[in-house]
Structure 1
């Protein structure tokens, strides 16, 4: 069991991280790439009317869970009005009220909608067979004949409605011609289709919506037919019988009623406008999480203050740099001064640039090492000697900053971004290695430290990695799992294979 403890821990950590990552990326739509934008639409309805005296109530249907779309934001714009939103049958309506209106009035409803990649099914309970309409002759006999002919050429409710709509658009016999004419509008055709479908006991209703287009001023609502197939409502295009709404169609309200109802007002007019909008994909995912009542976004770094977010953008990359150091030391075999010194130096390189940072680091360490050898002759104790080295490092950094400023070398000013204590400890460690193992080992470990710091820097400045670890911090569990896995590695290092290749050749 002890032998399986670590593998099981690695699998659990990886499983938790991948599960959270999948939910946020696939279900909530958090972007995998930085600065990714999502297409959405800003839809606005302007409702204007003329008061006739007294308190005014304006009721206006607004979208609710439109098929294929998600409502991200809603804004109600009106001055001096009270506002409530209430469900009304299959619709939702906004109710504006005011007591003493004066002159022409206008209220606005604005929403941001987002096309869903996987449209949700309109799961609605089956209302049951509808009652047949009471028609007089010859309409009654004609309706029965139309229903009979359509039933012979259809297989289910959806195909029945499709065949019926196509026959209505191209009436071939006198029975259909009693109900439709070439001048009928879509609304009249849908009204007739609902009546004929009722003759077959099929529940149907009228739906209205707008086409989302870049030329989106003064849009007119389009009317569609919806039939219930005992499982869900299915949309039918009244022009050609096509099944399903287009991807860029927003269902606004349902029913054979106007979208506006007024009390003590007249001359209601509605103007629909649409604008194409691009929004940061992270913001869209956060809003989508709110719509889905997901608590995942509440525990995201995106909810922290901006200053704290910027701090964690850096801190989240430190574990990744630490894993890279483990890989390069335990598997590749590079030697470094200290365990975490290279990753801290790499963080400094983010501000100084790679080449300038290497030059400044080498210069500070070389000068500090020379002064450290001088302090050795003074026979100081350890703590005073370290304190002296820290003071000397700060003086060297100050001198380099002043000198570079006078010479017009702006990169020299960034030397203050190096961690001074780490520099002091590095100088102390290099002097000890120099005394115990000679300058060759010191130079080898120094070059190894800079090489590891450079690799960490190149990884940590990658905008894709920065974005992934900030938006998906659960990936740190993968980093932890890989670090634990590397902690069990006891095989040959790559540098050892190069060093001892002569022994392998001798055996052959």
Structure 2
């Protein structure tokens, strides 16, 4: 029962860790790899007009929670104007005002945009049937005839709207379409007229405005999209192709109408849109996006710590990973080491000294320290004084190596001070004791095993993708904890033991010779 309880606990911990990792990866868009770049767009609206009077008020609709995108940053640039941001009809509006203005005026709104999660938005606006088209003859008859033809070629509300759009978007349209299109000047007017035609059949419809975010473009055109309500949800239809569905690259700007810009007593005012595509660091973008969407998730995470503390935890979070590597090599492979966490601490020192130089410095200091330790055996010191003396000698040896390396121009020797002094002293003591109790061969094998585990731990802990993954997804340590709990009940053979006893295994597999037959009776009874 206890074993089953352990496995259930490990499974729950692993599931919790994996769920947190998947959530941060898929929902919060944290990158799995370091130095990952994502698309970032700079969207700019430039308002230009020549004032007709001194006092002016400029109203510009702003994008509000565009589906599929997240606005990371916004800037308003207008010299001499005061800015007031308001919310009207569930949409944001920037209002610039000035007391005296002369000459051509230029006002800017700039937003930094990245992709979000809402690829297929669910609009919660209540459906409402708009005003119907008031047409005279012969346009009224043409409209009714066209709507009748569309009804015969459709199956539901969405296909009805698609068929109506298709007839207006094809070049070889019917006579009814040609007659009705005479009054339509641009795509916005055609989309608005389609809404009026749908209203005559009591179909809720509306026009939304936006543009697609792609490569860098100047003078981006604000395009209309048609939306109809099928009784359950709003369906989006492209007025140019009659395709149904929300475009992945559509950046929604307005849901209320084409009047995005309004300048008092100045119909000549116009707005120009510019889209610039760039690449940015995915980690910085994900952090900024999280601050915009839910600041608490950032405030209670490692990302809220000062940069110095973050660098400390980048190293500390790798220690359990090195300990797990040591666990696997000791319990499954059978590599013998000095101490439980000594290889991990040595691996941390290798991160600063590099592997080859770290091994050389470690061997030099440990070798010289062993010579001093063997000499101290003749002095017959007690344990604590002996350890204190070895620690002093280790510090002196490290200082001597640094000074000599500096004189020889070998800069790597200066990094010997990064080794933990207490661990070095304890290592010397453990090696000397093992040398006395089990011989020099066993002591050297354990020393080599310690360096082997430290080297492997260093190679894993110094790999940039691993360091990034553990820091960004510290929940991965829960998965390590679950694996550690499972391995904690393993008591089978180690890999080294299989090689050690392979001769015995071969002998047990060989067939044994049959026992000799008993000798036959040599005597006989004479009859």
TM-score bracket relative to the smaller structure: over 0.9
Give, in whole Å, the separation in 1 of the partners of 2:295 and 2:11. 26
Instruction: Identify which range, 429-438 or 298-307, moves more after superposition.
Output: 298-307
* Superposed CA offset, 1:48-97 (max 9, x none): 33344454321101111223322232222334433333332253211223
Q: Verify the 8 A CA contact 1:115 1:247 in the aligned structure 2.
A: no
Aligned counterpart, 2:525: none
Q: Could you tell me whether the CA contact under 8 Å between 1:125 and 1:231 is conserved in 2?
A: no
Distance 1:166 1:266 in 2: 33
Alpha-carbon distance between aligned partners in 1 of 2:208 and 2:265, rounded to the nearest angstrom? 27
Q: Secondary structure at the match of 2:50?
A: strand
Structure 2 residue 202 is matched with structure 1 residue 204: no
> 1:398 aligns to what?
399
Distance 1:215 1:418 in 2: 52
> CA separation in 1, counterparts of 2:233 and 2:284?
31
What is residue 221 of structure 1 aligned with on the other side?
A: 222
- Number of the residue aligned with 2:352: 351
Residues 1:369 and 2:374 are matched in the alignment: no
Task: Tell me if structure 2 keeps the 8 A contact 1:56–1:265.
Answer: no
The CA deviation at 1:195 is: 2.0
1:410–1:182: structure 2 CA closer, same or farther, 3 Å change rule?
Answer: farther
* Contact 1:41–1:274, Cα closer than 8 Å, also in 2: yes
- RMSD of the alignment, in Å? 2.2
**Where do residues 267-282 of structure 1 align in structure 2 (5 Å cutoff)?**
267-282=268-283
Larger CA Rg, structure 1 vs 2: 2
Alignment gaps of 5+ in structure 2: 510-527
For 2:488 and 2:368, the matched residues in 1 are separated by: 36
Per the alignment, do residues 200 and 429 of structure 1 end up closer, same or farther by CA in structure 2, a change over 3 Å counting? same
Evaluate the alpha carbon distance shift between residue 147 and residue 366 of structure 1 in structure 2; reply closer, same or farther with a 3 A threshold. Answer: same
- Give the aligned length: 508
* Cα displacement (A) at 1:247: 2.9
Q: Which residue of the partner structure matches residue 127 of structure 1?
A: 127
Please give the alpha-carbon distance, in whole angstroms, between the structure 2 residues aligned to 1:138 and 1:182.
Answer: 13
Judged with a 3 Å threshold, the aligned counterparts in structure 2 of structure 1 residues 379 and 100 are, in CA distance, closer, same or farther, namely: farther
Match of 2:31 in 1: 31
Equivalences for 1:182-331 in 2 at 5 Å?
184-263=185-264, 267-293=268-294, 295-331=296-332
Decide whether aligned partners of structure 1 residues 131 and 192 sit closer, same or farther in structure 2, where only a CA change above 3 A counts: closer
SS in 1 for 2:132: coil
- Corresponding residue of 2:523: none
In structure 1, runs of 5+ residues without a counterpart are none
Q: 1:93-125 CA deviation, whole Å, 9 max, x = no partner?
A: 112233444554332211122234650323224
Give the direction of change, closer, same or farther, for the CA distance of 1:256–1:324 in structure 2 (3 Å limit).
Answer: closer
Q: Give me the whole-angstrom Cα distance separating, in 2, the residues matched to 1:484 and 1:241.
A: 58
Deviation string 1:188-209 (CA, Å, 9 cap, x unpaired) is 2212212222222222222222
| Partner of residue 69, structure 1 | 69
Q: Is the 8 A contact 1:121 1:232 kept in 2?
A: no
Could you tell me whether the CA contact under 8 Å between 2:54 and 2:102 is conserved in 1? no
Structure 1 distance, partners of 2:173, 2:420, is 87
TM-superposed CA distance for 1:261, in Å, is 1.1
1:171 CA displacement: 5.7
TM-score between both structures, scaled by the size of structure 1 = 0.94
